[in-house]
Amino acid sequence: MALQTSRESPAPVRQIANAISGWIDRLGAVWVEGQIAQLHRRQGMNTVFLTLRDPVADISVAVTCSRQVFDALNPPVVEGASVVVHAKPSYYANRGTLSLSARDIATVGLGELLARLEQRRQLLAAEGVFARELKRSLPFLPRTVGLITGQQSAAERDVLENARRRWPAVRFRVLHTAVQGPLAAREVIDALGTLDRDGEVDVIVIARGGGALEDLLPFSDEGLIRAVHQARTPVVSAIGHESDSPILDLVADVRASTPTDAAKLVVPDVAEETDRVTRLRDRGRQVLASWIVHERRQLESVRARSSLGDPRSSLSARSAEVGELRSRAQRCLVHRLDRDRNDMTHQLARVRSLSPLATLQRGYSVLQGADGQVVTSVAEAGAGQELHARVHDGRIHLQVTAVEPSDVEEKT
């Protein structure tokens, strides 16, 4: 039942604390899985204090355990171990702290641990976290290489020395973190975020030497896997040796079998690149020289043609053709004109033969009266009448003195 309180009648702290304690005491025992982040065994005390951390979220809870239960574990648990605890929640009213009172603790065995890792891998794969199309290619020559590794570790030395041996001018930004234990995953996630926000860092290498499966557990942490999946900068996983395969290898853009292999992947070899440039330059020279020889031969072949050796020879031939065509055109035109002239002469002769003027030229004439009417009969003329005689070259004015009809009538 909720406490009945108000501003005028508040409850004292002890009453609230006892109420919380009573509510929590009514909770039953639960099984909890987590990772031991801190372990304290105080001298002379029968209680062992643990801090149980969630492997994914940044959440932890205090656990108390009797020394008898803790010492009965075989093998003994250490910080960073994954355990399953059967405990009952309890509230310590005097200090206002919540803790779990452990009744039984069991370490997660190797087989069970592998099964849990496989289950986590399958769940992440089903989400598409490891999809091949999400993998990004590494830059040919990064401006700065981000390196996350343990301080003064062999992995750091292998990456730095081999990378600088391959490309002496390479620049590194190294962030040191824990690489095993309960704090390793969180520190690696924070370092990854720092390097991913750095605009100068073009690739990030997460490196660690080999170790037991339990030592490499931080690199299968779900929080770290999701952080690498969301990173914008390409990530290279260089954890352990060839046989080691944490889940980080699956989500990283590139997996390196060893830290030394990671150095070979992130920077090119200056000697190999110099040799490649030399070979390409020589090949380019050979191709260019071959092209020049080919073009020179083509030019010589063109220049050897008769049209270019003596250009006037072609012009002379063309000039002769033009002259021949012009002569042919002239002959055709003259022939056409002569034929048309003959046709015109014939047509003119025919026209003239039909003309009255031709008849007059043969000695005939046409008599016309004063009114211009043609006189065709003696009946149309009378003595003393003036007539005009039309001949081929002019007119003759006449005066009729007498009219004599013909005895025989002529028909035309």
Angle between helices 259-266 and 154-166 (to 10 degrees): 30
40-70: per-residue pLDDT in tens? 888 878 889 998 888 767 788 999 998 888 8
**Among 252, 209, 211, 215, which Cα is nearest to 231's?**
252
User: What average pLDDT does the structure give for the chain?
Assistant: 85
Q: DSSP 3-state assignment of 28?
A: coil
Give yes or no for a contact between 187 and 178, defined as CB atoms under 8 angstroms apart.
Answer: yes
Of the candidates 68, 41, 64, the one whose C-alpha atom is nearest the C-alpha of residue 52 is 64
Q: Which fold has domain 115-132+141-267?
A: Rossmann fold (3.40.50)
Q: What is the pLDDT of residue 7?
A: 85
* β pairing state of 172-176 and 144-149: parallel
Model confidence at 1: pLDDT above 60: no
- Considering 95-104, 285-294, 343-352, the range whose residues carry the highest mean pLDDT is 285-294
**Alpha-carbon distances, residue 398 vs 7, 359, 364, 369, 389 (angstroms):** 167, 21, 15, 10, 7
β strands within 3-137, DSSP E: 30-41, 47-53, 60-66, 82-92, 97-107
The pLDDT of 101-105, averaged and rounded, is: 88
Q: What is the mean pLDDT of the segment spanning 164-192?
A: 91
Instruction: Give the pLDDT confidence score for residue 412 in this predicted structure.
Output: 41
115-132+141-267 has the same fold as 13-108:
no
Predicted confidence (pLDDT) at residue 411 exceeds the cutoff of 50: no
Q: Which of these ranges, 198-202, 258-262, 378-382, has the smallest mean pLDDT?
A: 378-382
Mean pLDDT of 225-251: 88
The residue ranking higher by pLDDT, 404 or 148, is: 148
Domain ranges across the chain: 13-108, 115-132+141-267, 269-302, 361-399
pLDDT band at 254 (very low <50, low <70, confident <90, very high): very high
**What is the value of pTM for the model shown?**
0.51
Q: What is the mean pLDDT of residues 277-289?
A: 94
Instruction: Say if residue 75 is preceded by a cis peptide, omega within 30 of 0.
Output: yes
Q: Which CATH architecture has domain 13-108?
A: Beta Barrel (2.40)
Residues above pLDDT 70, as percent of the chain: 93
pLDDT, tens digit, for every residue of 292-321? 999 999 888 887 777 666 767 777 778 888
**pLDDT tier at 116 (50, 70, 90 boundaries)?**
confident
pLDDT at residue number 301: 85
When pLDDT is cut at 50, 70 and 90, the band that residue 352 belongs to is: confident
Question: What is the pLDDT averaged over residues 327-332?
Answer: 92
Rounded mean pLDDT, 353-364 = 75
